[in-house]
A and B are shown apart, each in its own frame.
Chain A
Amino acid sequence: MEIRNLCKTYGEKKVLSSFCADFQPGKRYALMGPSGIGKTTLVRLILGLEKPDSGDMTGVPAKMSAVFQENRLIPELTIPGNLRFILGRRFPAETIREMLEALSLTDCLETPAARLSGGQQRRAALARALLADAELLVLDEPFTGLDEENKSRAIREIDRRFSGTLLLVTHSREDAEALGAEMIAL
């Protein structure tokens, strides 16, 4: 995936200015930098949620998955419901069950997402991103609200289940190192 001279402005504010980067398939990258530097904007551009003012992006995979800054779960649906929403009804129940067990989410399967704790919602968002069929996984501050134990579980599942290109947005060097990601300073 090649990014050349990417620019994005919101009103008067220039968020990205001639950003260039090459992302190799199957490698892991951590986009780092202070708040407001444009990390989230960059991943929104890559995910196709925003259009750049100028610049080129080539080789962006068609199949992408993400953990957004917010959990973005459908509040009325349970965790399995939220997973089925993106995976469809034919997706094997066994695979879903394994993932939920790995992330310690089996004790709240009947609860609508709106009534889950922040940590449970975050793990559900992670489960969703990891079960989706994707070549590029974007993780925007994925471990927010997770205790050390759940964070380790999540990292273990990412390592076990995802072999595509990974883009991590984080402030934490520790998280980038734990995922073995190459750091890119914005």
Chain B
Amino acid sequence: MARKPKFNPTGRAAKLFAALLALCVWQLAAVLIGNRLLLVGPIQAAKRLLELLGEKTAWQALGFTFSRISLGFLLAFLTALVLAALSARFPLAETLLRPYILAIQTVPVASFIVIALLWLSSRRLSVFISFLMVLPVLYANALQGIRSADRQLLEMAKVFRVPPARQLRCIYFPALHPYLRSASHVALGLCWKAGVAAEVIGVTGRSVGGMLYDAKVYLEISDLFAWTALLVAVSLLFERLFLKLLDAMLTLAVTKEG
């Protein structure tokens, strides 16, 4: 007798069902509210999204925001690695950095955006804010990763006089990789949220944040949903690409030695 397939509550089918159910709940809420100025359903949002994809200005706005936020993230990633390496090598550096890291972690992002608006043009704001918001997350994880490097392997490398670049590639990088991976996963979500918030508050023209601001001013709620969906898609795509790049770098570092 053929066995009945068992339902897996955390499997793909269950997740797809949950997503479809959420869309139905959204559509139902839109129908019940019955006011397009307050809430539009997924069908209207999808229609508007398709329209946006055909507009040149939408692609320009998306390109502008993507370039700024990804630049902020990449700068933060590199800065975090340098600062973590310094802190791991010189304990005083960690102590000296602590107040800045704590300040960035505790001060609300809105305060930073308002302060930054006094210093920078609104077109550069999202680079700075996304950089600032993800730096502590990446720094803390990179430092932990460096410290998790196997001491016995480092001693072995010292005895055999292995050049620092090779130690970095074969001992530190594999130790750092899981920390950087999980930190990047969190930080990428964070930098898109903070970066777009900065564009909204700074009313940055020709940016996704600027478009969201316009949607709010002109009560174009379908634009708001369409832009949000587009942002989520782009940020997820960037996250996947970046994490794949990190994995590929690890594989390359390991296979390079044979």
Contacts and interface: CB of A to CB of B under 8 A. Distances in A.
Contacts of B166: 85, 88
A76 B254 contact: yes
Contacts, number: 54
B158 A80 contact: no
A49 B156 CA distance: 9
Contact of B258 (A64, A68, A77, A132): A77
Nearest to A77: B257
Binding site secondary structure of chain A: loop
A70 B159 contact: no
A84 interface: yes
A77 B257 CA distance: 7
B158 A132 contact: no
A48 B161 CA distance: 12
B152 A86 contact: no
Interface size class of chain B, counting residues whose CB lies under 8 Å from the partner chain: 10 to 19
Contacts of A82: 257
B153 interface: yes
Interface string B164-183: 00100011001000000000
B160 A132 contact: yes
B177 to A, nearest CB: 10
Given A74-B171, A86-B162, A81 B156 contact: no
A155 B156 CA distance: 22
A68 to B, nearest CB: 7
Interface in A34-91: 47-49, 63-66, 68, 70, 72, 74, 76-78, 80-86, 88
A77 B160 contact: no
Interface of A: 47-49, 63-66, 68, 70, 72, 74, 76-78, 80-86, 88, 128, 132
List the 9 closest A-B pairs by CB distance, nearest first. A81-B258, A86-B160, A81-B257, A72-B156, A80-B258, A76-B254, A84-B258, A84-B257, A72-B152
Interface of B: 152-153, 155-163, 166, 170-171, 174, 254, 257-258
21 contacts: A49-B155, A49-B159, A64-B159, A66-B156, A66-B159, A66-B160, A68-B155, A72-B153, A72-B156, A77-B170, A77-B254, A77-B257, A78-B258, A80-B258, A81-B258, A84-B257, A85-B257, A86-B157, A86-B160, A86-B162, A132-B160
